[in-house]
Amino acid sequence: MEISPVQLEELVHEKIKEAGDEGIAQTELATALGVSNKELSSALKKLILKRLVLKRSMKVDGKNVVKLFAVARDYSRIVVNVKSMHDVPCFTCNILSKCGNGSQIGPHNCPKLASWLISQL
């Protein structure tokens, strides 16, 4: 039985949601759903444009892996007071692109961010 692009998109979204905080690699997802990478890429593009899914690069066993994560719908409706964030060091950080989970530097061990957080107490 063949499924429509809309059904595939829904199926892909559900599978990514099931992966939860662990996320799921695109190849793993294609295998789990029994679809080609081309079919999967098309569905993913739509989900990413709708901001329902995001891709994040992370280190797994020392290797860089791009994983897919479901975005909670409520995230798009969070209202943030920008005044409270204007001096967060990450906004002017020159190594922002290298910062994150699985990287050598990240919010978990950043001295600049730690100092700023302490200064906010």
Sheet with 24-25, edge to edge strand ranges = 24-25, 63-70, 53-60
Exactly one of 11, 25, 54, 110 binds ligand SF4 (CB under 6 A); that residue is 110
SS3 55: strand
58 lies in the binding site for ligand SF4 (CB under 6 A): no
Q: In the complex with ligand SF4, which residue's Cβ is closer, 42 or 116? A: 116
Cβ distance 14 to 24 under 8 Å? no
107 lies in the binding site for ligand SF4 (CB under 6 A): yes
Q: In the complex with ligand SF4, which residue's Cβ is closer, 65 or 105? A: 105
Residue with tokens 């699985």: 102
- Considering only residues 71 through 100, tell me which ones interact with ligand SF4, judged by CB under 6 A: 89-90, 93, 95-96, 99
SS3 37: helix
105 lies in the binding site for ligand SF4 (CB under 6 A): yes
Measure Cα distances from 1 to 11, 53, 113 in Å: 14, 26, 53
Q: Which residues bind ligand SF4 (CB under 6 A)?
A: 89-90, 93, 95-96, 99, 105, 107, 110, 112-113
